[in-house]
Amino acid sequence: MVSLSKRRFVQLAGLSIAHRILPGRLFAQEPAPKRPANKVIVVTFGGGVRYSETFAPEGLRNIPRLVALRPQGYFFNSCINSGVLSHFNSTASIVTGNWQRVDDFGFQPPAGPTLFEYYRKQSGAGPMDAWAVATNKSFASMGWGSDRTLGQPYGANVVLPKQLLLEAVQEVVKKGAAGGVANRDDVLQRLEGVLSEGYEGVGWTIFKAGRKLDQQVRDTLVRGLVEYINGPEAPTSGDELTFFITREIMREFSPRLMLVNFWDMDVAHWGSYSLYLNAITKTDRLVGMLWDEIQANPSYTGKTTMLVLPELGRDGDQNTANGFLNHRSGDPSCRNTWLLAMGAAVPPGQTERPVHHVDVAATAAELLGVKVSGIAGLPLRELLL
């Protein structure tokens, strides 16, 4: 495994880094540390996944890691998405605690403040303590909302791993063999495979957002990425790259609050049921690996709560043989999902009580000792005993 230095990683991940120069103490105010040691990682099965391919009896074979982990955690059998059934709005509802109706493609930030902003302002946490890592290319503005009293100075660092790859691909192509890149064609082919994975289409159209990397940072990225892409853990998909970047952030900075968006399941739009199932199993494996990292990392083990849920479902098969393709019908298969909570102080158990996506922000706030106001979500009382 290639181990990135902290300096190199700050450069590499600096696409959309939130207020990274000024120290957090300049913005500190009276914290509300109800659970001062707890860390929270929210993981989304992004792209949308149905009950029938996951926790329904016929779907359990697709999620062996989650099936094995479920007895250790608390399972909410009914987690309902009552908002707009789009990717950006669904995940923005999770991080704000309010149902969102903004631009579907991420050209607008979430309405109102996010959990990241509440946490950083109230705790005085620095900019390395809150991160959003997203395979979805449209999530560049997910780290802070439109509330002018908070906003970007208190937001999360947003990292789009495919954007980082795109910068390196352009440099490899431009410099060619004269740039000193060994096996240039092979490297380019591997990068293109990762960028093209999923429903995004060809990776050259990755959403451009955040600060433009300067030449020094771009050069650093290319050197590090060529080593990585030829290493034993070279990714074969966008979600695998997202996992790698997430793990590096955890090891280098140990943030207390993270959003991790896996999204390769949206390949379902291509109409291939087998690719959709493969993506579910891959996400299941990566979530399991993330849990393994939490258990092995001294900064996280015993003091981290991980909340895993689909951002939305997908259409049912009532009116079509291929309902899995889309997620806009609003039928129960689209709206009714699940939530698995694991980790610090989470009791084993399950409930049929319906909960909602907006409850995640309220619950995470309680776990972090943060006060939020004016949100629709309610804390999940089963996790806050």
- For 157, counting Cβ atoms within 10 Å of its Cβ (0-12 exposed, 13-18 middle, 19+ buried), the class is buried
- Maximum C-alpha span of the chain: 62
Is pLDDT above 80 for 210?
no
Is pLDDT above 90 for 227?
no
Q: Please report the pLDDT score of residue 219 as a whole number.
A: 53
Query: How far is the CA of 95 from the CAs of 115, 244, 364, in angstroms?
Result: 6, 22, 9
The single residue listed with the structure tokens 């449209």 is: 138
Q: Which band of pLDDT confidence, cut at 50, 70 and 90, is reported for residue 209? A: very low
Q: Which domains does the chain have, with CATH numbers?
A: 6-383 (3.40.720.10)
| Angle CA 66–337–236, to nearest 5 | 50
Mean per-residue pLDDT of the chain: 81
| Least reliable range by pLDDT among 17-21, 33-37, 328-332, 370-374 | 17-21
Q: Please report the pLDDT score of residue 145 as a whole number.
A: 95
| pTM, two decimal places | 0.84
Q: Please report the pLDDT score of residue 163 as a whole number.
A: 73
Q: What is the mean pLDDT of residues 90-119?
A: 95
Q: Please report the pLDDT score of residue 24 as a whole number.
A: 38
Report the SS3 class of residue 378: coil
Looking at the chain, which runs of residues are DSSP E strands? 39-45, 74-80, 130-134, 157-159, 257-262, 304-310, 336-343, 349-351, 355-356
Tokens representing 73 are 């955690």
Q: What are phi and psi of 267, to 5 degrees?
A: -60, -15
Could you report the per-residue pLDDT of 51-61, keeping only the tens digit for each?
999 999 999 99
Could you report the per-residue pLDDT of 242-274, keeping only the tens digit for each?
898 888 889 888 999 999 999 999 999 888 999
Query: What's the length of the chain?
Result: 385
Q: Which band of pLDDT confidence, cut at 50, 70 and 90, is reported for residue 300? A: very high
Is pLDDT above 70 for 307?
yes
Q: Please report the pLDDT score of residue 83 as a whole number.
A: 96
Contact 64, 280 (CB under 8 A): no
| Least reliable range by pLDDT among 36-50, 134-148, 208-222 | 208-222
Q: Which band of pLDDT confidence, cut at 50, 70 and 90, is reported for residue 128? A: confident
Could you report the per-residue pLDDT of 326-364, keeping only the tens digit for each?
898 899 999 999 999 999 989 999 999 999 999 999 999
DSSP characters for 44-78? EETT---GGGTTSGGGGGG-HHHHHHGGGSEEEEE
Count the alpha carbons within 13 Å of 307 in the hemisphere toward its beta carbon: 27
Tokens representing 210 are 């955040």
Tokens representing 25 are 């103490």
Is pLDDT above 70 for 224?
no
| Least reliable range by pLDDT among 180-194, 229-243, 274-288, 308-322 | 180-194
Tokens representing 68 are 């094995």
Q: Which residues contact 60 (CB under 8 A, 6 or more apart)?
A: 54, 67
Closest CA to 16 of 156, 200, 116: 156
Q: What is the mean pLDDT of residues 6-33?
A: 44
Q: Which band of pLDDT confidence, cut at 50, 70 and 90, is reported for residue 1? A: very low
Q: Please report the pLDDT score of residue 6 as a whole number.
A: 53
Q: Please report the pLDDT score of residue 201 as a whole number.
A: 43
Could you report the per-residue pLDDT of 145-157, keeping only the tens digit for each?
999 889 888 999 8
Q: Which residues, in sequence order, are bridge partners of residue 159?
A: 133
Tell me the helices (H) and strands (E) count for the chain, helix number first. 11, 9
* Count of CB atoms situated within 10 Å of the CB of 113: 29
* Count of CB atoms situated within 10 Å of the CB of 5: 12
If one compares 283 and 220, the residue with the highest pLDDT of the two is 283
Q: What is the mean pLDDT of residues 26-54?
A: 74
Q: Please report the pLDDT score of residue 236 as a whole number.
A: 75
Closest CA to 239 of 161, 299, 314: 161
Q: Which band of pLDDT confidence, cut at 50, 70 and 90, is reported for residue 5? A: low
